[in-house]
Structure 1
Amino acid sequence: MATVDTTAVAEKFRPDRGTLLWGALIVNTEVILLLAYAALGSADLLSARGLRLWVYPFVWINASIWAVARTDIAPSSTRQKRLAAALAVGYFGVLAYTGGLVGPGHGSLGLDVALTSLPPGWAPAVTYNGMGVSLVLIPYKLIGYATLAYLVYATVLDAAGSAVTGVLGLLSCVSCSWPVLASIATGVVGSGSGIAAAVSAGSYGISTVVFVATVALLVWRPFARE
């Protein structure tokens, strides 16, 4: 029976001094942005729900930055890289669709960019409808889904070259389905519904917990090459 090397796990997640300094700089910048936005006239930050809604995007963004910085791509053949890239792109597409970033177009052609009407992390947001497709592009979700796709790419390459068979290794990526299921279960952002609906609807707490847990598992990748 395989055992977990707790020392290796702790080393994987323990931040070094440089990481802590950069983390403090990023968090301070985000706090300044939120305070500046609140000072422009929005009182929503004073409510518990408003505070959570404002903070969730930065949890996604910060977790994404940390994950990419902590992830190394294993040396692999060109064929393995192409396969991993195809799976990662397909995974991003599924996330984008179930998460409401992309959907079928309806109604008249339209393009809108929200710069100041939404809190940082939600803005600048872009909505587009036309040519059979609708887009609701929210920065923190784009960053988060792109990060998950990148981590899946790294996970596939690790699984392909691990002492464990590739199939068994990829089974540990069952958590990759969590963000998809969470998006469906919480009804996050109906395609073409507009930015206002994106901010006001859905349970973002559940989605955020699922996202952070998935990122942590994909960064850990317990079936590393031997």
Structure 2
Amino acid sequence: MTDSVAARSLAALSRRVSPVALAVVTVVVLAELALLAGYLGFTGAEPTSVRYLLYPFVWVNLAAWAVFTVVPPDASRRVRGAVLAVTAGYLLVLAYVGGVLDVTHLGHGHSHGGPRGLELFTSLPPGWGPTVVYDHAAFTLTLVPYQVVGYLALTYLVYVALLDFAAAALSGALGLLACASCSWPVFASLLAVVLGGAVPTTVYSFAVDLSTAAFVAAVVLLVWRTGGA
């Protein structure tokens, strides 16, 4: 019985995946592997763990799939504006919790002695680099490519989910906490950061694994929530 259900599920999935989509996915994956092989060959780097080289591609590919899968519902300009304001706050929370935005020296001047300004790190593996660091007296921005793509995709999915919820309930600006499937990624990321700081010898060493698992679960949940899959 279980085998027949699984077979039917696979058959249904194969019908939904067009040959063109499958070809695009294959080309993208092969191109990413070639890019990674080129980086390793050119730099001579010897990674300690292959999964850390692959995680950025998981983020970018899943983000692209989600954005092209989910379509925003129709809504009034007022509702769109309110939801856009909420999702802008959500993006700031993600940036802060995820380490993209650092405001620890806000109000205390420049906390470290290096010069302020823009720095570009190009020697990092694909997805991890090129990383852009902008150091300001009030804040520091650390833009890691895969994180930027992932957080923007999550923000878009939250925007669509809130639009869908607002269109159904017509409750105006509901706030982030009104939608459990929208707030979960923030709290999952926050939990990973908190645990990483509390138990550095165990959890911190798996911080990227935890954040990737949280990102995958959040994207799948939000896509399912908006009816995209």
TM bucket, shorter chain: 0.7 to 0.9
Q: What is the aligned partner in structure 2 of residue 195 from structure 1?
A: none
Shift in Å at residue 165 of structure 1?
A: 7.5
Gaps of 5+ in 1: 1-6, 188-199
Structure 2 residue 146 is the aligned partner of structure 1 residue 140: yes
Aligned counterpart for 2:39 among listed residues 30, 37, 40: 37
Tell me, yes or no, if structure 1 residue 173 matches structure 2 residue 173.
no
Corresponding position of 1:66: 65
Contact 2:36–2:125 at 8 Å: present in 1 too? yes
User: Partners in 1 of 2:44 and 2:193 — Cα distance?
Assistant: 28
| Secondary structure at 2:87 match in 1 | helix
Counterpart mapping for 1:91-130 below 5 A: 91-104=90-103, 105=105, 106-107=111-112, 108=114, 109-115=116-122, 117-130=123-136
C-alpha deviation, 1:42, in angstroms: 3.1
Is the contact made by 1:169 and 1:223 (CA closer than 8 Å) also made in structure 2?
Answer: no
Q: Report which of the two structures shows the higher radius of gyration computed on alpha carbons.
A: 2
Shift of 1:163: 6.5
Aligned counterpart in structure 2 of residue 23 of structure 1, from 2, 25, 46: 25
Deviation of the 1:175 alpha carbon:
2.3
The question of 1:186 aligning with 2:166 is answered no
Give TM-score scaled by structure 1 length: 0.78
Query: Is there any run of 5+ residues in structure 2 with no aligned partner, and where?
Result: 1-8, 106-110, 198-203
Question: Is the Cα contact below 8 Å between 1:162 and 1:169 reproduced in 2?
Answer: no
Q: Supply the distance in 2 between the matched residues of 1:169 and 1:162 (Cα, whole angstroms).
A: 13
- How well do the aligned residues superpose, as a CA RMSD in angstroms? 2.8
**Percent same amino acid at aligned positions?**
37
Which residue pairs with 2:200 in the alignment?
none
Measured after TM superposition, the shift of residue 130 of structure 1 is 2.2
Cα distance in structure 1, aligned partners of 2:54 and 2:191:
22
**Structure 1 residue ranges, 4+ long, deviating more than 4 angstroms after superposition:** 163-169
In 1, the alpha carbon distance for the partners of 2:19 and 2:189 equals 31
Out of 101-110 and 78-87, give the one that drifted further: 101-110
How far apart are the structure 1 equivalents of 2:44 and 2:170? 53
Which residue number in structure 2 is paired with residue 149 of structure 1? 155
Question: What is the letter of the counterpart of residue 63 of structure 2?
Answer: S
Deviation at 1:129, TM superposition (A): 1.6
**Within 2, Cα distance between the matches of 1:164 and 1:35?**
51
Over 3 Å counting, the alpha-carbon distance change for 1:100 and 1:202 in structure 2 is: farther
TM-score (norm 2): 0.77
